[in-house]
Structure 1
């Protein structure tokens, strides 16, 4: 079974562009405001939306996202409610939704039951940014068996070998651009370095990589496309825009869309290409 996210990545490769992923806490700034913001983002060209489950955001997410999560949580009755809201925020049937769950999410539900809820809500993917890579990979195999796309959160260099050796087919990787909180300053050299390390470690194994943390607009996205990323992830800026209204959300997506064209689109990742030519 091919997920919406996989189809969008494949479609983008054919169209010679990268994908744009966004992030919002479920129910922020209100359930109606969330749906309006998501619709505006998808209408403007967003490819996929990560939606965090109700509960506090960790320090990793920075003060703006933490505040948004606190505002949104009381407006959701639980995980099932959040997932249904997320799925209903699609504007088109092929818009992709990824459920993001922190460690605190599993204080009241097992991972297996969470995957059941994802399937029931017709959500496409799962992202567990606080789980160790070994656990992400184990859950990823279970998710793939259920038709859910696992998105692997990569921030430790030692996890590269685990991904390379895993049985997950054509993994989708969320690459942390640098060791910082969301909303921090973007480090272009570190982002390039991590993309190169990933390409070298996977040694030609098919994968897709989207880069987040510090990615705000046109300049960062253009650099990532030139460096061989398959997509960019905008979180803090999109959350801030959602607090202003749908028009502000659309402007964020419109701002970065011109940078999604890849000069070397359709070619292997730069590191893979060099390896094949050696």
Structure 2
């Protein structure tokens, strides 16, 4: 199921979609599946599953810590695909967010085939652009997978037009210059970036901004089609090491707060 379905449903309900991120294999493979299912049950409309990677140049310390924990336990691409299969079975569109190197090593066509077979909706590729992603674009088109590329405040209008034209599903607008991470204030760069992207495409625009609570989600939902949250979900688990019940409770409470926020902001 394409992510566009979830965005269309949210739009029909006059609200933004809530997109939740968690790395596969964190705190372990079964634990990540359980955690993501809790996020789905509490209100996430789209799930991003992170593929842990040893050189996460765009990730902040919170997501890096989670990915390293997964890698230390030996998580592999097949574990990521198993996680996708389990989460997609809930009926929520499920995408993988990954750096390009692991996909290239696995085999681009093979990755696309196996992701589609697992029920995955597509791929978010933060470190490749459409002009360097022809192999992925061809494989994604062959398997009807979403192609989610990133635009940033530094993108020229020409780059935004080129990037959004290559996307399918939604466009990922990263409105913080620098690495990922939860922040106490929202960026004044997000609104103008969304406006520029909307001039170039009719696709939904999801914004990743370091959102960590419902009030921030509501603020972003006033102009974005989707609110993307990652570090705050990871932190909810990191804050309860070894206590799965408490971690799941924190995840559920956070998701409910954020899901309420995307509805207030409409």
Matched, 1:102 2:74: no
Which of 174, 177, 193 matches 1:176? 174
> Is 1:80–1:117's contact at 8 Å kept on the other side of the alignment?
no
> Is 2:186–2:216's contact at 8 Å kept on the other side of the alignment?
no
1:65-76 alignment to 2 at 5 Å? 65-76=63-74
Counterpart residue number, 1:252: 254
Distance 2:166 2:76 in 1: 32
Counterpart residue number, 1:139: 136
Query: By how many angstroms is 1:87 displaced?
Result: 2.0
Query: By how many angstroms is 1:90 displaced?
Result: 4.5
Counterpart residue number, 1:213: 209
Distance 2:17 2:103 in 1: 30
Q: Alpha carbons of 1:57 and 1:242: their partners in 2 closer, same or farther (altered >3 Å)?
A: farther
CA RMSD of aligned residues (A): 2.2
Query: By how many angstroms is 1:222 displaced?
Result: 1.3
With the length of structure 1 as denominator, give the TM-score of the two structures.
0.83
Structure 2 unaligned regions, length at least 5: 241-246
Counterpart residue number, 1:161: 161
Distance 2:122 2:187 in 1: 28
Which of 110, 123, 147 matches 2:120? 123
The DSSP-based 3-state class of the residue aligned with 1:147 is coil
| Runs of at least 4 residues off by over 4 Å | none
Query: By how many angstroms is 1:135 displaced?
Result: 3.0
The DSSP-based 3-state class of the residue aligned with 2:160 is helix
Matched, 1:261 2:263: yes
Q: Alpha carbons of 1:14 and 1:229: their partners in 2 closer, same or farther (altered >3 Å)?
A: same
Counterpart residue number, 2:58: 60
Counterpart residue number, 2:190: 191
The DSSP-based 3-state class of the residue aligned with 2:47 is strand
Counterpart residue number, 1:275: none
Distance 2:220 2:50 in 1: 24
1:178-203 CA-partner distances (Å, limit 9, x unpaired): 21211153443111121122123x1x
The DSSP-based 3-state class of the residue aligned with 1:178 is coil
1:31-70 alignment to 2 at 5 Å? 31-70=29-68
1:4-46 CA-partner distances (Å, limit 9, x unpaired): 4221111111111111111111110111211111111011011
Query: By how many angstroms is 1:122 displaced?
Result: 1.5
Structure 1 unaligned regions, length at least 5: 265-278
Counterpart residue number, 1:114: 111
Distance 1:74 1:162 in 2: 38
1:78-116 CA-partner distances (Å, limit 9, x unpaired): 212211122213462x21211112133145222222111
Distance 1:31 1:98 in 2: 17
Counterpart residue number, 2:243: none
